[in-house]
Amino acid sequence: MDIKGIKDYLGDSWKAVTELLEASLKSDISLLDATNRKILSTPGKQLRPVICLLVARLCGNGKVSRSSIRCAAASELLHNATLLHDDVADDSYSRRGVPTVMSLLGGRSSVLLGDYWLVKAIDNILEAGTEGDRLIRVFAKTLSDLAEGEILQLEKSATCDTVEEDYLRIIFSKTASLFEATAVSAAISEGASPESTEAVRAYAYNLGMAFQIKDDILDYSGDERIGKPVGIDLQEQKITLPLLGAFLNAGPEAENAMRRKVADIHLHPEYADEIREFIRENRGMEYAGKRLSDYVEKAVSSLDRFGPGEDRSLLKSIALYVAERNS
């Protein structure tokens, strides 16, 4: 997938989003302004606002309203707000190959900056137009989901009793919920029918679930040379889909033994290699890969409601990219 090519295709709409992000974050406080500009200079792929604009075009007959522009900007602001907070919660010193705000300015500054980006996201949602009330409810639910997902993950990391139902709720709350809000807000902004809104919601939900499953696979199989740290989930006692899949094939006794090792990983870091070997022997990666493919297939099929066209094709390419990416 050529993300730059997609942004070029979006043309003036993408330019409007980037200009709005810069304007939203401009401050006369020099440290705040400089830090915001530094974050914007290493933006990552910006999938959420890209998806927002493509969905807007899909539902708006190739046009993008100012409301959708604001929703696209809000989705990126909200995403980065959560990253600034996550860096503190996870004690992360680098992201996207550069030092985090937490590492440079401290945890308090990172939390305050995350709050600032969050408020700017809300400002854009409130300015989105006549559907502002509906849109704020969509994003408010996402904020609630994000908090619940983080707390549930903390709870399950402490007890190491995560089952697949818990895992799916966590990854929906932490990842898929914002993808869903991004797509639904664009559909609402463009006045899409309930059927079309549901179709893009299903696309974004399945895409988001696939995105996080791929992240969790990469935590076991990624290459740190391409910017994806590996082994973080085990260090944080998170039981994710590759390990859950291995449990299904190994039986209760082996599962209980591995859960105890995950719980003791801080005292025995050497357990990490044993857990990875357990996943390999019990085909946990294959299990996670199959679930990943299922979600990608559902994301793509959700677009069948719409006729052929470049916007639908690009949304499909994003879904396929999620399954193939290495970082």
Q: Give the DSSP H or E segment for 98.
A: strand 98-99
Q: Cα 204 vs. chain centroid, distance in angstroms?
A: 11
Mean pLDDT of the chain: 92
Question: What pLDDT, in 10s, does the model give residues 88-98?
Answer: 877 787 776 78
pLDDT at 227 over 60: no
Torsion of CA 286, 291, 292, 295, to 10 degrees: 160
* Three-state DSSP state, 192: coil
pLDDT exceeds cutoff 50 at 226: no
Q: Tokens standing for 232?
A: 């973080």
Instruction: Tell me the β-bridge partners of 94.
Output: 99
Q: What angle do CA 279, 282, 284 make, to 5 degrees?
A: 55
Residue 228's pLDDT is what? 47
In tens, the pLDDT along 108-118 reads 999 999 999 99
pLDDT of residue 222: 63
Note if the pTM is more than 0.85.
Answer: yes
Q: Point out which residues pair with 98 in neighbouring strands.
A: 95
60-86: pLDDT as tens digits:
999 999 999 999 999 999 999 999 998
Q: Which of 136, 115, 138 is nearest to 125 (CA)?
A: 136
> What is the structure's pLDDT at 130?
64
Question: How many other C-beta atoms are found inside a 10 Å radius of the C-beta of residue 194?
Answer: 8
Helices of type H across 239-283:
241-250, 252-263, 271-281
Supply φ then ψ for residue 7, to 5 degrees. Answer: -65, -40
What domains can you pick out in the chain, each with its CATH number? 3-324 (1.10.600.10)
CA gap 69, 124 in Å, rounded: 9
pLDDT-derived band at 223 (thresholds 50, 70, 90) equals: low
